[in-house]
Amino acid sequence: MKIRILGSAAGGGFPQWNCNCVNCDGVRKGTIDAVPRTQSSIAVSENDTDWLLINASPDILAQIRANPALQPARAIRDSGIAAVLLMDAQIDHVTGLLMLRERGSPLPLYATEQVLADLAQALPITRVLGHYCGVDARPLALDGAALAIPPLAATTILPVPLLSKAPPYSPHRDDPHPGDNIGLTIRNGASGKRLFYAPGLGEITPAVEEAMRGADVLLVDGTCWSDDEMLTMGLSKKTARMMGHLAQSGPGGMIELLDRMPASRKILIHINNSNPILREDAPQRAVLAAHGIEVALDGMDIEL
Ligand code: MLT
Ligand code: MN
Ligand code: ZN
């Protein structure tokens, strides 16, 4: 089973359209050792033809073009994207759904009741899509049961509730509900291997710690190097924590957490454009390497 990283950047992408931080300006001008990245999304397939898309990024059309495996062209109108699963209702994870409106049949859409409610009301994407292909909404229960989600047959997916943040437009923004954000344990039934995926990880609950401990591969929140980096760079008034993200450095940070984990691969994803780890030659990259931590790239494949 294969996991293809379609987009490895956080919301805004890298470079972000209006940002002139050292990373964004440098990658635009080609003066730093870094590559552009599109916004957060992965796809899972057992046969390289039929894919479960996990999160629908605003960059989805570019991602489909960059990944011909998602376009098997079996009919005059056709896509390898058989279904979509959403992990939260954030703009960088859901607005790509609008770009799939030309489908010939309702889009199978897996998400928690909270996320489906936000997408029916606060950011009414599913209502809008009702005027195009329509959505076949499949609520994800958080009852601890692993799911078989077509087109995947030998793979199971276990949603893990996360303590993070609902989007700013959600009625749950400051009133967290289980289901506002989920992580996923993706298990290959043939090899028994597990990957834990959580592009947004605000707090490490016992359930998250357990899911991470049981994973062979960790693909987790790499948004910010330091909690206050967007503040100190003058990019935002919010800390990583305020946005529901655990920074990598410092006491209680992601590096410390990953050090405790037995996984054979530890990969950071959802990298914000402010993060120094985007520069291949940054000292922070050497720190990650010393801890056996990789940084995701668009187009990267993980075989599980
Ligand atoms: C987040 O995860 O906090 C997002 O990337 C925010 C956004 O999409 O603007
Ligand atoms: Mn995000
Ligand atoms: Zn920037």
What is the per-residue pLDDT across 237-264, written as a single tens digit (0 to 9) for each? 999 999 989 999 999 999 999 999 999 9
On whether the CB atoms of residues 174 and 167 are closer than 8 A, the answer is no
When pLDDT is averaged across residues 143-150 and rounded to a whole number, the result is 96
What average pLDDT is seen over the chain?
97
When pLDDT is averaged across residues 15-38 and rounded to a whole number, the result is 98
Ligand 1 in contact with 227 (CB < 6 A)? no
Confidence of residue 172 (pLDDT cuts 50, 70, 90): confident
Counting atoms of ligand 1 from 1, which one is nearest the CA of 91? Answer: 8
Confidence of residue 165 (pLDDT cuts 50, 70, 90): confident
CA 303 to ligand 2 centroid distance, Å: 24
CA 204 to ligand 2 centroid distance, Å: 18
When pLDDT is averaged across residues 217-223 and rounded to a whole number, the result is 98
**Residue with CA closest to ligand 1 atom 8:** 11
Using the structure block, give the residue that is written with the tokens 């993706």.
186
Confidence of residue 166 (pLDDT cuts 50, 70, 90): very high
Residue 119 has pLDDT above 90, yes or no: yes
Residue 224 has pLDDT above 90, yes or no: yes
Ligand 1 in contact with 274 (CB < 6 A)? no
Instruction: For domain 2-303, say whether CATH 3.60.15.10 is its number.
Output: yes
More confident: 264 or 175:
264
Per-residue pLDDT reduced to its tens digit, 268-292: 999 999 999 999 999 999 999 999 9
When pLDDT is averaged across residues 151-174 and rounded to a whole number, the result is 94
Counting atoms of ligand 1 from 1, which one is nearest the CA of 92? Answer: 8
Long-range contact list for 24-27, CB < 8 A, 24+ apart? 24/273, 26/279, 27/278
Ligand 1 in contact with 10 (CB < 6 A)? yes
Residue 80 has pLDDT above 90, yes or no: yes
Per-residue pLDDT reduced to its tens digit, 28-39: 999 999 999 999
Confidence of residue 297 (pLDDT cuts 50, 70, 90): very high
When pLDDT is averaged across residues 83-98 and rounded to a whole number, the result is 98
The full set of domain ranges for the chain reads 2-303
> 13: Cβ–Cβ under 8 A, 6 or more apart, which residues?
7, 36, 37, 38, 39, 59, 273
User: Would you tell me how many other CB atoms lie within 10 Å of the CB of residue 173?
Assistant: 13
